[in-house]
Amino acid sequence: MHDSFFPISRLARQVQIFSSLIAKLAGRAQEERISLQLPGISGLQFGVMQILAQKSFTLSEIADKMMLAAATLVPVVDRLEKLGLVVRGEDPADRRRRPLHLTPLGREQIASVPQFDEDDLVARSLAAMGEVKARQLDQLLQELLHHLSPEIDYATQVLEQLQRLDHQVEE
């Protein structure tokens, strides 16, 4: 139950709007980094490669992770395969299953693109907020994600990624 004096619906709408805006800004910044390092590779193609950098997945598994229709990814994967960045494998236990694998060249290509740029608009805006507010925002966003995770499998994966990032920063 929530406090009847606080307009949760207004806040929920704000979060949706902010999330959309930040996703667009982050996507645009990532597209710029990708186009500088890997001309001819789209953000969607790069996203598929990032997923495959973790481990092999089928096209439909990748589509689920990206919350897209599998048919959307067919030409994306075909192009990555033609470029020698991805190969279709075989599953000896299930001949119908065709897991995709990132090639060594694909791994090299991913490594060449910086994950983050300190000059990114979102990063500059967070820095302008100051460390205390940025840490508060971090804690609140992680708490929100934690409440989303029982409903959305992908939210649990995001929480795990954030925990891995925390460990990398500590090292």
The CA radius of gyration of the chain, in Å to the nearest whole number, is: 19
C-alpha dist (Å) from residue 150 to 19, 36, 68, 134, 145: 20, 38, 21, 26, 9
Inform me whether the pLDDT recorded for 160 exceeds 80: no
Q: What is the pLDDT of residues 37-72, one digit of tens each?
A: 999 999 999 999 999 998 999 999 999 988 899 999
Burial of 169 (C-beta count, 10 Å sphere; 0-12/13-18/19+): exposed
User: DSSP for 101-131?
Assistant: EE-HHHHHHHHTS-S--TTSHHHHHHHHH-H
For residue 31, how far is the Cα from the chain centroid?
13
pTM: 0.68
- Contact, 121 vs 29, CB < 8 A? yes
Locate the domains of the chain by residue range: 130-171
> With pLDDT > 70 as the criterion, what percentage of the chain qualifies?
85
